[in-house]
């Protein structure tokens, strides 16, 4: 009977010792990391971006970029060389990107399913770097371009184990803002929107003055 009582008395102490170890370890991680496996910081950053409006602006600019220019270029089999069509598309991308010096971009490289997974990841990254290098030659700062992510063969547009040109591609996407840019740091995103309106306005040469009864009116 005495042994049973001693055992029951020691059990809470053992439990407290175990729990204390877990709590102590959590001092080196974000609050709540024991529950969400350390992803709390990402969720916090996402919430902050939504509350400040940055997330919505990035989403809007991403849609605008995809609608106004071709975001994808394709490659020959087992190649990271940019052909004429790819260069023409990237020149259009560069023209759009130059209008938004506050915006950061990522270039994702993809391959078809032919070849090993490791080789295709390296090939996808080579393709992404080829795009970044070309955009840099067009006057885009490398600080605004990132080619560190390659999906290899894991995200095909056409599901096939054979050669497929549509899967051999790079995709340029808006990924965020350049944090050090003074416009973004001051929260003056309206300046970005204003430039969009100005660039979309028609030039004066597109308007013709029509005189009617001594008054002048503008007509297209």
Question: Across the chain, what does the average pLDDT equal?
Answer: 74
The residue ranges of every structural domain in the chain are: 69-200
User: What integer pLDDT is reported at residue 23 of this predicted model?
Assistant: 43
Lowest-pLDDT range of 47-56, 123-132, 189-198: 47-56
- Rounded CA separation 176/105 (Å): 7
Q: Is the pTM of this model over 0.85?
A: no
pLDDT digits (tens, 9 = 90+) for 131-186: 999 999 999 999 899 997 788 888 898 888 889 999 999 999 988 876 544 444 44
Q: What is the distance between the terminal CA atoms of the chain, rounded to a whole angstrom?
A: 102
pLDDT digits (tens, 9 = 90+) for 33-86: 444 444 455 555 555 554 544 556 677 788 888 889 999 999 999 999 999 999
Contact present, 136 and 97 (Cβ < 8 Å): no
User: What integer pLDDT is reported at residue 160 of this predicted model?
Assistant: 86
**Of the candidates 165, 167, 148, which has an alpha carbon nearest to the alpha carbon of residue 157?**
167
CATH architecture assigned to 69-200: 2-Layer Sandwich (3.30)
Q: Which residue has the higher pLDDT, 67 or 219?
A: 67
Neighbour count for residue 202 (Cβ, 10 Å): 8
């Amino acid at each position: 009977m005495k042994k049973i009582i001693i055992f029951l008395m020691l059990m809470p102490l053992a439990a407290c010792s175990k729990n204390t170890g877990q709590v102590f370890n959590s001092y080196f991680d974000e609050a709540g990391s024991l529950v969400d496996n350390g992803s709390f910081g990402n969720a916090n950053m996402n919430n902050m971006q939504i509350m400040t409006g940055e997330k919505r602006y990035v989403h809007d600019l991403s849609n605008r970029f995809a609608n106004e220019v071709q975001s994808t270029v394709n490659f020959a089999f087992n190649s990271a060389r940019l052909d004429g069509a790819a260069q023409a598309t990237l020149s259009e991308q560069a023209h759009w990107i130059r209008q938004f010096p506050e915006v950061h971009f990522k270039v994702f490289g993809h391959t078809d399913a032919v070849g090993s997974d490791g080789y295709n990841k390296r090939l996808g990254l080579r393709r992404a770097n080829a795009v970044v290098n070309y955009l840099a030659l067009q006057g885009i700062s490398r600080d605004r371009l990132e080619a560190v992510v390659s999906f290899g063969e894991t995200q095909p547009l056409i599901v096939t184990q054979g050669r497929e040109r549509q899967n051999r591609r790079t995709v340029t996407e808006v990924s965020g803002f350049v944090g050090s840019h003074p416009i973004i740091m001051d929260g003056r995103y309206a300046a970005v929107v204003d430039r969009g309106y100005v660039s979309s306005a028609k030039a004066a040469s597109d308007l013709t003055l029509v005189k009617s009864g001594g008054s002048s009116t503008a007509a297209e």
